[in-house]
Structure 1
Amino acid sequence: MLTLYSYPQLFGVADNNGYGLKVYAFLKLAGVPFAHKHIFDSSGAPRGQLPYAVDDGKEIGGSDAIVTHSIEKYRLTIDAQLTLRQRDMSHLIDRMLDDLYWVMSYSRWKDEQFRPAFLAALLREHPNLTEEGLLKAQEYNAQRYYYQGIGRYSPPAAYARGIADLQVLANLVPSTGFVHGPKPTSIDAAIYGFIANIYFYEIETPLRTFVAAHRNLVRHCTEIHDAVAN
């Protein structure tokens, strides 16, 4: 059986990181049996990043690699009916979510307006964490943000970038059904991974304000959420 290793839950969401939640939702929607193990320390993961999976002794690092591995090994048909154009669109959306990730993460670890509420939620839901450990994580993320570039943005400029990404999703996600039709595909799992980590959080960032104001995004998120809930 495949075992998924990812960050712990928060605010009722199965993983407080968009990439881990993306894989979790994908496996659930595709009907793949798996064990889910939550960890905070990613130092032992392939490339030092979460999520990763272990399947019959094979380690697979990275959300896209886990999805590809699962489709090939378990002969999944979740994306089988997609046209080349739809596959290209899914690829472009997936890469845009990589951009949205940095803004979402910035709102949690960098922005002084929202960081205290996020850290307080982590400590409340995961009492094994310590303030010292979270401070180290904050310092580590500050370095990542600086070298990636988002750390050099002011909060309004950072959120403008994230909202531009969310606007594209609001334009693409239909009012009923899913991105490529009446049934969800892997890109719907990916979108859910990030939107759920914005919408279900009890922290009113500009990103959450935008999502909450768009019924199609909320509807898409909550339908996937209900479908993958245990």
Structure 2
Amino acid sequence: MGFLRKLKLCTGVVAGLSGGALGYLRASTTIISPLPIDDPFLRSSTYAKYNLHQNPSTQDVCVKRIPLDKIRPELLQREGDLALEFCRGVWGGLGYRFQRAYLARKYHGPATGSQLWTVDQLSQSAYEPGTQLTDHFEVVEKTPTEIVVRCGDTPRNQNPRDSDGLFAISATIDKERGEAVLGLKSCFFTSSSKIEGIQGPMPAWMEVLHRWYSRIWMETGSWRVTR
């Protein structure tokens, strides 16, 4: 699914929210765009592999901080559990329900039967590399603090794409502040050919909608890890 089809979904979901809900999302989450020039993600081997022409990208990260006493205590006992459970919350949560249902109607069939489609599947997966979700995402990297998926087109297309991107779901602990730090980092780019200039593939107005959609994913995904 390309950027324009994603835009339709973003518009529909954001339009359904009240002014109070939008205000809460703005207050409870932080958007940083573009990413800092020294962000490790932009220097990672995964980013270099998929953005092989080093094309300009549309970049942002949505961050939410939660006091540790509000996090489910069992998720703090073993490294990796918090990030995995947050990832499950993003994909199995309310914020992704509309897009999941839309993609299922269009693409769930014999050719995609091995992918994750149901809420139960998305809420229970270990999200190991190679896991494919709703014919639009594929896990390409997993560490104890971050799970990275490729997006922009069907994972059945492993080639460079006109519409490509990486989406990183992370959870770390800030011991000094006593908080869990949840992150949703997005980089969208064209990988099929070299693009001149410095502008990413999304126009500014589309970026605004995308960031509101990220806030929704963040909020509903965070419910999974809180008491």
* TM-score bracket for this pair, using the shorter chain length: under 0.3
Instruction: Give the structure, 1 or 2, with the largest relative contact order (CA under 8 Å, sep 6 or more).
Output: 2
Higher helix share: 1
TM-score (norm 2): 0.26
Higher strand share: 2
